[in-house]
Amino acid sequence: MIAENLDFDVAIIGGGPGGSTTAAYLRKYAPHLRVAVIEREEFPRDHVGESQLPPIGRVLHEIGAWDKIEAANFPIKLGASYTWGKTTAPWVFGFIPDSEIGDRTRPAKFEGWRQRVALQVDRAIYDKILLDHAKELGATLFQPHKVMRVTSSGMGANRRVTGLELEDGRRIQARYYIDSSGHSAILRRHLEIAVDAPSLLRNVAFWNYWEADGLNRAMLESGAMRVLIRSVPFGWVWYIVLSDRRTSVGLVCNAEFYKQSGKRPEELYYEALAQEPELSALLSKATVASKVSTANDWSYVAAESCGENWFLVGESLGFADPILAAGLTLTHTSAEHCAATILELERGEQSPVWLRAQYHDIQTRRIRQHIKFAEYWYSANGLFTDILENCRDIAAASGLSFEPQEAFRWLSNGGIDDVSGQVAIGGLNVAGIKMVQQHFSNTSADDVTFLIDGMNRFQLNLEGARPETSSTIKSGRVLPVSILKRDQRSLPLTGIYGLVYSSLQTSGELERFLPVLKQRISGMFPDDMSRRAAFKESLLCLEGLVAQGWVTCSNEPGKPALGMKSR
């Protein structure tokens, strides 16, 4: 055994996307910091969770890894195709309209339409690129090395981590410790931090990788595609293209159903594929790369996300059901926020208590929002009809009284601010969410309406609102932003929210409001595509503000009015 103490500023447990992204951010903005990453496995290695959402591209670009990831030529993800809800025919959603997809030449810069779509990544390749990138930026990598023991001192809010002992006897000491060890949650478990599983969803996942020459050639001819999600009587199946010859295929089903079935994971897995002729045909000439893997798929969130000198990042902090493909997005963005928080603590310009509270409040809220939206999603699947009533319970917990179907108005408009100042969750904006509502809860597109449709007068309603301070992350900084708070509702005065708010302060009459809005958008965004996208998002934000009571709307006869459709 080697008796050696190693001193660092930051010690990160886990070299997956959470750990490597945190390390890369820290080294980019504070190259003087000594950052250690301890990873127990050799890379490359397979890992489930390959489907991304658009916010990840911005993170990759900021840490300088975009060009390396793009050079790997992972399939571009435009959205997803589903058989889910009240219809059996596949329906699709896209992050952007197909008409806005431009030049598909690869590799491409992080600009234009590529800023608004995502990737489907082979984690064996993806994770290694990111970890190597963090090492190139100056992080010290311990791989393969296991953390055998965590030491700490103090109790309650005064708990401090004092060191990490590796399997070879070396001891790592640092000023900050980060747990990005995923479900292993090495630091979280040592600190005995409770986990809240607020969802009725108790699922299990079974998956494997399928390979064949030219397996996905026909699907990749366009250079971009969608994840395939297909319902089966006892759950749902994913088909995620990773390359021309490799695909991730998995089954998610209710844990109690699996237990009562008495069947082995392999039996249920192949039974599900047999019930999907489309997927069976795609896999007819492919072979499995290994045995079927199994994991619990339960949504949860840690009761504490950070302390005096420690942070939880990614799945050690929380996990939302994979139906929304949010896992990697939540991991990358929590890593960004964690790194920015440490950088601010180092600067010493802002309250440490406020910085930690912002990290906890924002990151745990984001996970809970994804969990709540997943619950609604499952309420439309045949096996999960008992969850439909839970939609009403979710709304009631926030002081609202809705019938189960109507509870979706709260789910779709009641705080879908996955990123401060934006109006989206799970890659869906308000229009996308309303499309989901149509497929799940209504008989036709005409049943799903916009509150602002046909309206031409909009008045801010700030009665009872109080000013507070939240935060946003930009260029390695945690920046204070003003918000208005009323009951459980928050109105960020930044981003698209702030744009609409300030424009309404000028005038609430549609004929005056729209020109002001467009003028401000022109001053904020450099190109026509970005301006058009910002204008659409502004109208969807206006819809959300009306639904939440921040804006009242009416129609003055004889004057032009907004025309909004859910299609």
Residue partners of 562: CB distance under 8 A and separation at least 6: 452, 453, 454, 455, 456, 510, 539
Are the C-beta atoms of residues 153 and 287 closer than 8 Å to each other? no
In a domain, 115, yes or no: yes
In a domain, 435, yes or no: no
Spatial separation of the C-alpha atoms in residues 111 and 204, rounded to whole Å: 38
pLDDT at residue 285 in the model: 93
At residue 239's C-alpha, the angle toward residues 236 and 243, to 5°, is 165
Residues 327 and 456 in one domain: no
Are the C-beta atoms of residues 33 and 27 closer than 8 Å to each other? yes
Residues 112 and 207 in one domain: yes
Are the C-beta atoms of residues 404 and 388 closer than 8 Å to each other? yes
- Residue 401 has which token pair? 């009284």
| Domain coverage including residue 527 | 448-567
Residue type, 421: G
CATH of the domain at 221: 3.30.9.100
Residues 218 and 94 in one domain: yes
Residue partners of 262: CB distance under 8 A and separation at least 6: none
pLDDT at residue 376 in the model: 67
Spatial separation of the C-alpha atoms in residues 546 and 460, rounded to whole Å: 9
Please choose, from the candidates 461, 473, 436, 396, the residue with its C-alpha nearest in 3D space to the C-alpha of residue 82.
Answer: 436
Residue partners of 361: CB distance under 8 A and separation at least 6: none
Question: Residue 262's CB: how many other CB atoms inside 10 A?
Answer: 7
Q: Which of 338, 364, 390 is the last residue of a domain?
A: 364
Q: How many domains does the chain have?
A: 3
Q: Is the confidence at residue 557, as pLDDT, over 70?
A: yes
In a domain, 243, yes or no: yes
pLDDT at residue 425 in the model: 44
Q: Which residues of 428-462 are buried (b: 16+ CB within 10 A; e: fewer)?
A: bbbbbbbbbbbbbbbeeeeebebbbeebbbbebee
Residues 182 and 284 in one domain: no
Q: Which residues of 471-508 are buried (b: 16+ CB within 10 A; e: fewer)?
A: bbbeebbbeebebbebeebbbbbbbbbbbbbebbeeeb
- Residue whose entry in the numeric block shows the structure tokens 């509270």: 357
Q: Which of 364, 388, 419 is the last residue of a domain?
A: 364
In a domain, 426, yes or no: no
- Residue whose entry in the numeric block shows the structure tokens 């998995």: 250
Q: Which is higher by pLDDT, 387 or 511?
A: 511
Phi, psi of 413 (to 5 degrees): -125, -5
> Mean of the pLDDT values across residues 499-528?
92
Residues 156 and 10 in one domain: yes
Please choose, from the candidates 203, 201, 208, 214, the residue with its C-alpha nearest in 3D space to the C-alpha of residue 239.
Answer: 208
Q: Is the confidence at residue 485, as pLDDT, over 70?
A: yes
- Residue 527 has which token pair? 């190109």
In a domain, 404, yes or no: no
Spatial separation of the C-alpha atoms in residues 497 and 461, rounded to whole Å: 14
Q: Which of 255, 271, 297 is the last residue of a domain?
A: 297
- Residue 279 has which token pair? 């997927």
In a domain, 423, yes or no: no
Q: Which residues of 106-142 are buried (b: 16+ CB within 10 A; e: fewer)?
A: eebeeeebbbbbbbbbbbbbbbbbbbbbbbebbbbbb
Given 3-state DSSP classes, what are the helix, strand and coil percentages for the chain, each rounded to the nearest 5?
40, 25, 35
pLDDT confidence bin for 496, thresholds 50/70/90: confident
Residues 292 and 320 in one domain: no
Which uninterrupted H or E stretch holds 143? Answer: none
In order, the DSSP letters of 404-458 are TTTHHHHHHHS--BSSTT--EETTEEHHHHHHHHHHHH-SSGGGS--TTTT--EE
- Residue 334 has which token pair? 């929590």
pLDDT confidence bin for 550, thresholds 50/70/90: very high
According to the per-residue pLDDT averaged within each range, which of 34-38, 220-224, 488-492, 556-560 is highest?
A: 34-38
Which uninterrupted H or E stretch holds 12? Answer: strand 5-13
pLDDT at residue 333 in the model: 94
pLDDT at residue 495 in the model: 84
- Residue whose entry in the numeric block shows the structure tokens 């920046």: 479
At residue 380's C-alpha, the angle toward residues 376 and 385, to 5°, is 95
In order, the DSSP letters of 197-249 are ---S--EEEEEEEEE-TTTTHHHHTTSEEEEEEEEETTEEEEEEE-SSSEEEE
Residues 105 and 43 in one domain: no
Residues 492 and 534 in one domain: yes
Report pLDDT digits (tens) over 151-170: 999 987 789 999 999 999 99
Please choose, from the candidates 239, 23, 261, 321, the residue with its C-alpha nearest in 3D space to the C-alpha of residue 143.
Answer: 23
- Counted residue by residue, the chain has a size of 567
In a domain, 179, yes or no: yes
CATH of the domain at 351: 3.50.50.60
Residues 293 and 319 in one domain: no
In order, the DSSP letters of 271-297 are HHHHT-HHHHHHTTT-EESSPPEEEE-
Residues 25 and 126 in one domain: yes
pLDDT at residue 86 in the model: 57
Report pLDDT digits (tens) over 93-133: 778 878 888 888 999 999 999 998 999 999 999 999 999 99
Report pLDDT digits (tens) over 287-346: 998 889 998 878 899 999 999 999 999 999 999 888 878 899 999 999 999 999 999 999
Residues 258 and 324 in one domain: no
Please choose, from the candidates 327, 240, 251, the residue with its C-alpha nearest in 3D space to the C-alpha of residue 17.
Answer: 327
- Residue 292 has which token pair? 């079927």
Spatial separation of the C-alpha atoms in residues 20 and 178, rounded to whole Å: 11
* Cα atoms in the 13 Å half-sphere on the side-chain side of 473: 26
pLDDT at residue 380 in the model: 58
Spatial separation of the C-alpha atoms in residues 504 and 206, rounded to whole Å: 50
Q: Is the confidence at residue 415, as pLDDT, over 60?
A: no
In a domain, 400, yes or no: no
> To the nearest 10°, the Cα dihedral for 82, 84, 88, 89?
-20
pLDDT at residue 497 in the model: 86
Residues 184 and 214 in one domain: no
Long-range contacts of 385-389 (CB under 8 A, 24+ apart): 386/200, 387/200, 387/201
